[in-house]
Amino acid sequence: MRAAIVLGDFAEADSASGKVHILGAGWSMTGPGPSTQAVVAFLQVPPERVGEPIPVILRLLDRAHRVVEVPGSLGAPQRLEITGQVVIREPEGWDHSTELEAVFSVNLLMLLLPPGHSYTWSIEVDGKELANTEFQVRSSPPPPEVTRTITYRGDPARASQLAQMLEEEGVDVERTRPTEEQGLGADAAQVVIQMVATGGVLGITAAVNKFRARVKHAKVTIEGEDEEPGPEAEPPE
C-alpha cells in the first residue's frame, strides 16, 4: 500500500463520491501565530484490501521524532495523534485490476505550535509509516527597537551595574561623561550620567526596574516616564 500527504487550510470529504475538496493546498510554512491546518492523506488501496477496514494513525512529530503535545480542552497535555479507519467500497464497473484511492482527512482549528521549529506529519497503516511531509513554523519577529535616554543619579560605582543589566537584556548602551551633583549628607558624592539605550522597550524597562529593586538609593528615570516609582505613601491616621 502507498500513501501521500497534502497540507491545506481546510478540507471537506465527499462521502458520496469519495473525493475531497481542499482549500489552500500546498503550503510548507505557517505561523508564527495560531493557524488552521487540514491534513489530507491519500491511500492507494490494493484490490485485496477493498471492502475491509484499514486502520490509520496520523501523527504530528517534532525534530526528535516525538509526538507533539498541545494543551487539551481540560488543560492537560494532549498528543497530536489521530486514529481512525478507512473503508473503501467496490465501485460499480471495477474489474479488480487496479488500485483504488481512499482519503483520510482531518481539520485542526487554531493550532498553536512553538515558533522557529520544523514538524512532520506522518501516516501509519498496519504499523508501518507510509508517508510523511514536513513544514516549518516561522520564527516570531523581533520586537521593534526604540531609543530612550536614561538618566542616572547616584553612586558612580553603581552606574556600570545599570549598564550591565541593560546589556544583559540585549540593549545597546552609550554613556555620557558623568557630571558631579553637589548635595548634602549621603548624596554629596553622587553623579549624574545619561545613557542612550537602544533596544526593545520591554528589555529597557525590565533592566531599569531590576536595578531600582536592587539599588535603593539611586534614582533612575527613563525618557517618557512621568516619574520614577517611589515608595508608597503611608495612609493618614
Q: Which of 159, 165, 163 is nearest to 189 (CA)?
A: 159
Residues 109, 31 share a domain: yes
Give the residue numbers spanning the domain of 107: 2-137
pLDDT of residue 191: 87
Total domain count for the chain? Answer: 2
Residue 166: inside a domain: yes
pTM given for the model: 0.63
- Radius of gyration, CA atoms only, the chain: 31
Residues 126, 87 share a domain: yes
pLDDT of residue 156: 84
pLDDT of residue 231: 44
pLDDT of residue 185: 52
CA–CA separation, 169 and 112 (whole Å): 27
Amino acid making up residue 208: V
Residues 151, 131 share a domain: no
Q: Please, what is the angle between helix 156-168 and helix 201-214, to 10°?
A: 140
Domain boundary among 94, 110, 137: 137
Residue 37: inside a domain: yes
pLDDT of residue 181: 65
Determine the 3-state secondary structure of 27 from DSSP.
coil
Domain boundary among 115, 137, 159: 137
Give the mean pLDDT per block of 10 residues along the chain (237 residues).
96 88 96 93 95 96 95 84 92 93 93 94 96 95 87 89 92 85 57 92 91 88 69 43
Residue 154: inside a domain: yes
